[in-house]
Amino acid sequence: MNTPEQAAENPARLDLGAIRAKLNGVRGQDYWRSLEEIAETREFQELLHREFPPGASEWWDGLNRRNFLKMAAATLALSGMTACTKQPTRQIFPYVNQPQELVLGQPLFYASSMLLGGFATGVLVKSREGHPIKVDGNPEHPSSLGASSVWMQTSILGLYDPDRSQTVNHAGDISTWALFLSDLNDLLREQAPKKGAGLRFLTETITSPTLAAQLNDLQKKFPGSKWCQYDPITRDNVREGARLAFGRLVEAHYQFDKAAVIVALDADFLYIHPERLRYTRQFTDGRRVSFGKREMNRLYVVESTPTVTGSMADHRLPLASAQVEDLARVMAQQLGAATQGAANVLSPEQTAWLAALVGDLKQHHAASIVIAGEWQPPIVHALAHLLNQTLGNVGNTVHYTEPAEAHPVNQIDSLRELAAEMKSGAVDALFILGGNPVYNAPADLEFGSNLAKVKRSIHLGLELDETAALSTWHIPQAHYLESWSDARAFDGTVSLMQPLIAPLYDGKSAHEVLGAMVQQQPVRSDYEIVREFWQTQKPWPDFELGWRKSLHDGFITGTQAPAVTVRMKEGFAGTLASESKMTPAQPVVIKTSPSPQAASDAGDPFAPASRKVVHIENLELCFRPDPNLWDGRFANNGWLQECPKPISKLIWDNAVLISPSLAERSGLAANDVVEVSFQGRTLRGPVWVMPGQAENTLTLHLGYGRSRGGRVGRGVGFDAYPLRTADAPWLGTGAKLVTTEASHQLVSTQLHHNLHSPERQIYRSATLDELRAQPDIIKKTVEIPPRDETLYNPDEYKYNAHRWGMSIDLTTCIGCNACVVACEVENNIPVVGKDQVSRGRDMLWLRVDTYYKGALDNPGFSHMPVPCMHCEHAPCELVCPVEATLHDSEGLNLQVYNRCVGTRFCSNNCPYKVRRFNFLQYTDYHTPSLKPMYNPEVTVRWRGVMEKCTYCVQRIAAARIASEKENRRIRDGEVKTACQEACPAVAIVFGDLNDPDAKVTQLKRQPLDYPMLGQLNTRPRTTYLAKVENRNPETTDKRPV
Amino acid sequence: METIQGSEPQLRVPGKPYVVTPLDYPAVLIAAKDYQQVSDQIADIPLVHPRKREWLAGFSIACLLLLMFMVAVGYLLYRGVGIWGINIPVAWGFAITNFVWWIGIGHAGTFISAILLLLLQKWRTTINRFTEAMTLFAVICAGMFPLLHLGRPWVFYWLLPYPDTMALWPQFRSPLVWDVFAVSTYFTVSLLFWYLGIVPDLATVRDKARTKWRRIFYGLGALGWRGSAVHWQNHQSAYLLLAGLATPLVLSVHSVVSFDFAVAQLPGWHSTIFPPYFVAGAIYSGFAMVLNLVIPIRRLYGFQNLITERTLNNMACVMLATGWMVTYGYIMEAFMAWYSGEPFDRAMMWDRAFGAYGWVFWLLMTVNVFIPQLLWSRWVRTHPVPLFFVALSVNVGMWLERFVIVVQSLHHDFVPSSWRMYFPTKWDWMTLFGSIGLFLTLLFLFIRYLPMISISESRELIAQRKEGRL
């Protein structure tokens, strides 16, 4: 088609014949101007309709002026629509006066203390821009020595828990502190004439001098009132044991680093004992065999259920808890502590086991420790005291002090008395200051129903738990990171607690609640109360100076309890023989009966043939605090719920632990739900077959089956408290087990505990005697191919500056999981839930593998923490198609989340399987209260990317900045990984391998050093020090090494 | 006995539905009468569309499966790969199994078209078009899986070497990058080869088409083909050149795919036998899939005269040969595991046969090694029904083989504490069967709208038969 311009230049050829024909038919005044007009060519028509001649520009008709204006108006209107979202007004206030210590972007550390079981452990809390983000041990504090426990590490989540109680509640409705105070006024007015006869205070174990003073003051004001204490993880047996042996209350302290032989009678002194962190350090210090040291302590453990301490034993005897007393008596008899003893009721194997132990103890006079566990009856504790005295340990490895508790009482008796008073209606008002007795009081005291008979019950707690639901008043408690207080450590050291953040939900501390009872106006804050108390104590010549120093340190120096000399009660040894013994356990009976459904199945050909009910009678029942949830107070803590329990590696559940032999005899298997009955009470729970469990013992862990509290812990596991009575808080005989048809899926993060073949070169161990005989026993079996045996350039990376590496000591690792949770907190590791873990998708960057060896009934346990190995020839790096995982100049194996597309090839090619993948969106981006908890130095990962241990690269970066500012190298020990910092056993050492004097370099020169799977030529930077066991050559128990 | 000059003697034996050679093998390559019959028979399907009801039934089922695939993929993109059963250590599951399986199926087309063309195998003529199409669709299915299995599929293009503003490149040491090149090259060459072959036939259909739209549709596809001698000359040279180009690809693609495993150091993956073993397996499963598709279609559209028993017999023979190559691979894997003395390889092999996935392994042995031995029987090779079921068994077997390699090796590697089972979820199954739906949908559209057998080459066969060169 021609354009008009072209048409003007080259008019179309005209058909003159047609024009002629047309004109012939025209009549009248028809003018024509040109031939084109007559021919009615398109060009002419166009010309007629054009306003302007060709070449003059004009609007395209599709968008005329009107349309343009319409469009412009619409555009304006539409762009104006964006204004429909009202942007929130935000104001930014710069600091007019910069706070003195605060540098934005730099963390601050404050010393404080965390309480568990009433005893304080010193903590150092890391705070970023005003919010605490990590809790670690206070290196100066005697109960911590810088180490931390799983509970300390995860307590940060307790602070930010979105399910914490947030308001004062009155009879289930939201109320206010002011209304509570007015009700309190009424109460006190009522009670004043009765001298407070109807007032009762129920606390957990109290070591706080300030709180004790407040309670004592109140008792002076209201002489009729009573103060009861109850902690479900009660140490009553320890107290009564001391009373039995010495006639008075004393606390025993042990020095494990000085002991050559340690005997634990059902005692989990490495994990449950209040002094767990210090004891772990001392115990493991006594076991280190590096740097030419060839001496180590020897640990004998007698226990009914495998514990962290039991897993460290050189000789372990699974024995029913009730039989430990027999063993202790025979031991005392054989060591000459008790002249007359009970008849030896032990089996020949047990006797032989004991003989080796007794022989060992005799050889190590004054260098041994006998320690009894919290769950053993007082007589066993008394026997342990007696044995320590006989063996000459007192004054050497054992010393005694006054208890650190402010007011030590028999807590079960105390609670029993309170329950009776509540039942009789004598209690007008009950102040429950912390704790959750409705959930965790002994079942036979019926605390919940008795609480209903109390007119006013006031509950102070962190969450709206079972007790809060039944109380008249509930006051939200301030978290320990939000409040001022003080408490004593196990050794008596007064430890101070200071808040890191203002109470998130206007919580109150126990000090403030008690303070309100003494003086309501002006309301005194916990800071004033604690500070004023210490002002009256005058511990320092210059109060302000001393107070500030103590706050800085986290404790008051020199306040540990002095050693006291105690003497055995006259004739205690003599009375042993005459004392009546526990009734010997009845033999276990296993019966089968047809299922009640079998009758109805009679005509059903598809009914399972083996539908039988198995009844097992006369079993021993043991209660234990849960290794993660303790007494249940940590049930809403996802990190703890998902932390694999030591040894069994179970998560998100508790179980009825049974022995393999009982499982074999009764046909029970893991996940079978059973009914356990004890003293007429019954519960249902799934079975877990636990190697190393005493043959006829059932173990139930407390703390699960919460019906209230928070969305994480509610309904997880089963509640074991309903079987726990005041008479048998830890141990009962005559329990009955009945099988059911039901099944409950338990989830363990480790399904295989067998190393299969030593050729795998994963876990290496030797006995001390073997090591003494040939110091290179480990080195000479390690097969490492030459460095250049690779397809790629072996010198691709030079590592001129730093060469980061880690050494993990398998001899001292106790498998306590502190490193695992420390890693989670430091690195913002999400909680994924039971379902995801059951699919094999736990996100632990650092895991602790536990391997069994030897017999099923009494295996040896070996713990192996496995972080990323940071291989020099990393298999993962080669296979990533986008180079999202790569090597850096210091040998770190980095993971770039932004670049990761999620092929997961790196994980497939990782022989150590330490990589973790975000299969779904695991990180919680939305819960507001969790946002300030995340470590701002670590990227929060999203769905579809791989992640793994980074050797805490953010800490290396911080140290690098600090060192560059001072123009020096990073010093040894300046970078501590989160796992290393937490480890109570100092089993993890990190550092620069280019520094010949660094601790890690020296450890790697030890003959025990070996790489995991070294034969693959991955050249891992994380290496292990092989496990050394100190076996008694005279032993009779067999365990392959 | 009728002997045609230049060709082998042919016998008619009572009780046999086909003419045989003196050694009793099926003899006839093509049984069509003349050019006209061939053209009509093949071109009628897109134009007249006989067997409408059967086609519609099959197409509906395929579309339903495709719909399921879309649901599964949609949910996958919404939630993430966590909807599958994969975990640590088994980070690859059905997706990679399906990928390798589909890629393997995609090998038959090019093998038949290119390698057999170069080897002057005339019997390939009547099935090559069909298998090439099958190849394309199988590679489409295969190509989706590596993308879908990514944690973040929306950034799949980071695997391509493109000028990134941050100057980032793929990591060329990773076999996954080689995969991207291998598969995309293979797809491109297969597509070209297939299209080049179909051009003269599109022209035939165009010329036979009666309606305007059909003429336009096929005419556009025919690229102005007029069948001149120059056209034929250029076409044949290009076809032969592409065949030469495609031949090494048949060997390279699955070799590269096998590197995804062989380059890793995982016991069960790290093996030098993988490239030839994978190629043989690919051809094995490819031929099985061709048989599975050809046998019903041959019957449905009455193509027995074009796809004769001789073709079936030859395909069965190729399967038997490649099946034994694969079996040799199995034997060598076990032998090397033992002979190497490596504890991990030995443990892996033991677990493969007697571990948790042992039943899969023995099922694999049954369907992939033992059942195909039926192909030694001439009766099975020449009877469509038994042959169909043997081929089906091989298809299942080859899928199981990839499952065993991917999942079993991963679930039981170096460190016992990390051993864990893989259980597919319903989404895994939906994706697997959904991808079959995608494949079948494309295939049904192909047989409906395009000449599924090469008209020109079939006519060439008739010419050769007439000239006695067959």
Q: Residue A792's pLDDT is what? A: 83
Q: Residue A33's pLDDT is what? A: 55
Question: Nearest chain A Cα to B168, which residue?
Answer: A882
Exposed / middle / buried, residue A114 (Cβ in 10 Å: 0-12, 13-18, 19+): buried
Contact call for residues B107 and B288 (beta carbons, < 8 A): no
Residues of B in contact with A916 (CB under 8 A): 88
Q: How confident is the model at residue B4 (pLDDT cuts 50, 70, 90)?
A: very low
Question: Nearest chain B Cα to A944, which residue?
Answer: B151
Q: Residue B12's pLDDT is what? A: 73
In 3D, which of A131, A133, A141 has the Cα closest to residue A111?
A141
Which of B418, B420, B421, B425 should one mutate to test binding to chain A, selecting the residue with the greatest count of A CBs within 10 A?
B418
Q: Residue A940's pLDDT is what? A: 92
Question: Nearest chain A Cα to B269, which residue?
Answer: A909
Residue tagged 């031991």 (tokens): A331
Which of A839, A896, A898 should one mutate to test binding to chain B, selecting the residue with the greatest count of B CBs within 10 A?
A839
- Using DSSP's 3-state secondary structure scheme, residue A635 falls into coil
Q: Residue A147's pLDDT is what? A: 92
Q: Residue A22's pLDDT is what? A: 65
My answer on whether omega of the bond before B424 falls inside 30° of 0, hence cis, is no
Q: Candidates 3.40.50.10420, 3.30.70.20, 3.30.160.250, 3.30.300.250; correct CATH number of A758-1029?
A: 3.30.70.20
**Nearest-CA distance A956 → chain B (Å):** 26
Cβ separation of A762 and B81 shorter than 8 Å? no
Q: Residue A866's pLDDT is what? A: 94
Q: Residue A966's pLDDT is what? A: 93
Cβ separation of B415 and A866 shorter than 8 Å? yes
Cβ separation of A878 and B347 shorter than 8 Å? no
Report which of residues A15 and B459 the model is more confident about.
B459
Q: What does pTM read for this prediction? A: 0.86
Report whether pLDDT(B53) > 80: yes
Q: Residue B46's pLDDT is what? A: 84
Residues of A in contact with B156 (CB under 8 A): 901
Q: Residue B1's pLDDT is what? A: 39
Cβ separation of A751 and B420 shorter than 8 Å? yes
Contact call for residues A976 and A804 (beta carbons, < 8 A): no
Q: Which token pair is A276?
A: 């767990």
**Nearest-CA distance A862 → chain B (Å):** 12
Report whether pLDDT(B144) > 60: yes
H helix or E strand, kind and range, residue A877? helix A875-879
Nearest to B417 among A750, A907, A946 (CB): A750
Cβ separation of B174 and A916 shorter than 8 Å? no
Q: How far is A148 from A981, CA to CA, in rounded Å? A: 8
Q: Residue A7's pLDDT is what? A: 43
User: What is the CA A348 to chain-centroid distance, rounded?
Assistant: 41
Q: Residue A609's pLDDT is what? A: 47
Q: Residue A453's pLDDT is what? A: 87
Cα Rg for chain B, rounded, in angstroms? 23
Nearest to A880 among B155, B171, B416 (CB): B171
**Nearest-CA distance B392 → chain A (Å):** 31
Cβ separation of B82 and A919 shorter than 8 Å? yes
Q: How far is B213 from B219, CA to CA, in rounded Å? A: 9
Cβ separation of A883 and B170 shorter than 8 Å? yes
**Nearest-CA distance B303 → chain A (Å):** 45
Cβ separation of A752 and B413 shorter than 8 Å? no
Q: How confident is the model at residue B289 (pLDDT cuts 50, 70, 90)?
A: very high
Q: Residue B6's pLDDT is what? A: 47
Q: In which region does residue A944 sit, left (phi positive, over 0), alpha (psi from -120 to 50) or beta (all else)? A: left
| Domain assignments of chain A as residue spans, ordered by start | 4-49, 114-160, 168-233+407-553, 251-401, 589-597+609-748, 758-1029
My answer on whether omega of the bond before B89 falls inside 30° of 0, hence cis, is yes
Q: Residue B7's pLDDT is what? A: 55
- Using DSSP's 3-state secondary structure scheme, residue A496 falls into strand
Nearest to B343 among A759, A792, A912 (CB): A759
Mean pLDDT of chain B: 88
Q: In this structure, how many other beta carbons lie within 10 angstroms of the beta carbon of residue A317? A: 22
Task: Sheet containing A251-254: give its strands across.
Answer: A251-254, A398-401, A563-564
Q: Residue A597's pLDDT is what? A: 58
DSSP designation for A629: T
DSSP A532-591: HHHHHH--SSSHHHHHHHHHHHTB-TT-SPPEE---PPTTHHHHHHHSPPPPPPPPPEEE
Cβ separation of A882 and B159 shorter than 8 Å? yes
Nearest to A902 among B150, B260, B423 (CB): B150
Cβ separation of B86 and A904 shorter than 8 Å? yes
Q: In this structure, how many other beta carbons lie within 10 angstroms of the beta carbon of residue A19? A: 17
**Architecture in CATH of B11-466:** Up-down Bundle (1.20)
- Using DSSP's 3-state secondary structure scheme, residue A120 falls into strand
**Nearest-CA distance A319 → chain B (Å):** 28
Nearest to A904 among B92, B156, B415 (CB): B92
Helix then strand then coil, % of chain B, to nearest 5: 75, 0, 25
Q: Residue A148's pLDDT is what? A: 93
Nearest to B415 among A759, A762, A946 (CB): A762
H helix or E strand, kind and range, residue A169? strand A168-170
**Nearest-CA distance A72 → chain B (Å):** 36
H helix or E strand, kind and range, residue A466? helix A466-470
List, for residues A12-48, the tens digit of each pLDDT value.
555 666 666 666 665 545 555 555 555 566 665 665 5
Which of A749, A796, A882 should one mutate to test binding to chain B, selecting the residue with the greatest count of B CBs within 10 A?
A882
Nearest to B174 among A881, A907, A1013 (CB): A881
**Nearest-CA distance B440 → chain A (Å):** 28
Cβ separation of B150 and A901 shorter than 8 Å? yes
Nearest to B156 among A901, A921, A946 (CB): A901
In 3D, which of A950, A944, A841, A840 has the Cα closest to residue A885?
A950
DSSP A418-439: HHHHHHHT--SEEEEES--HHH
Q: Which token pair is A205?
A: 């174990």
Mean pLDDT of all residues in B410-431? 91
**Nearest-CA distance B70 → chain A (Å):** 20
Q: Predicted ipTM?
A: 0.91
Which of A841, A869, A879, A947 should one mutate to test binding to chain B, selecting the residue with the greatest count of B CBs within 10 A?
A879
Q: Say which CATH topology domain A251-401 has.
A: Dimethylsulfoxide Reductase; domain 2 (3.40.228)
Residues of B in contact with A852 (CB under 8 A): none
**Nearest-CA distance B145 → chain A (Å):** 11
Residue type, A212: A
List phi, psi (to 5°) of A296.
-155, 160
Q: Residue B36's pLDDT is what? A: 84
**Nearest-CA distance B201 → chain A (Å):** 36
In 3D, which of A141, A131, A149 has the Cα closest to residue A981?
A149
Nearest to B266 among A881, A908, A920 (CB): A908
**Nearest-CA distance B275 → chain A (Å):** 18
Residues of A in contact with B90 (CB under 8 A): 840
Q: A778-787, A884-893, B24-33, B410-419 — which is least confidently predicted?
A: B24-33
Nearest to A903 among B169, B176, B263 (CB): B176
List, for residues A488-547, the tens digit of each pLDDT value.
999 999 999 999 998 998 889 999 888 888 876 667 888 988 998 998 988 888 888 989
Q: For chain A, which residues score pLDDT lower than 50?
A: 1-11, 28, 55, 57, 59, 580, 609, 1041
Nearest to A943 among B80, B149, B174 (CB): B80
Helix then strand then coil, % of chain A, to nearest 5: 30, 20, 50
**Nearest-CA distance A796 → chain B (Å):** 14
Cβ separation of B82 and A836 shorter than 8 Å? yes
Q: How far is A343 from A543, CA to CA, in rounded Å? A: 61
DSSP designation for B425: -
For domain A168-233+407-553, say whether CATH 3.40.50.300 is its number.
no
- CATH no., domain A589-597+609-748: 2.40.40.20
Residues of B in contact with A897 (CB under 8 A): none
Q: Residue A786's pLDDT is what? A: 87
Which of A760, A761, A842, A913 should one mutate to test binding to chain B, selecting the residue with the greatest count of B CBs within 10 A?
A913
Residues of A in contact with B86 (CB under 8 A): 904, 919
Mean pLDDT of all residues in B301-308? 85
- Using DSSP's 3-state secondary structure scheme, residue A704 falls into coil
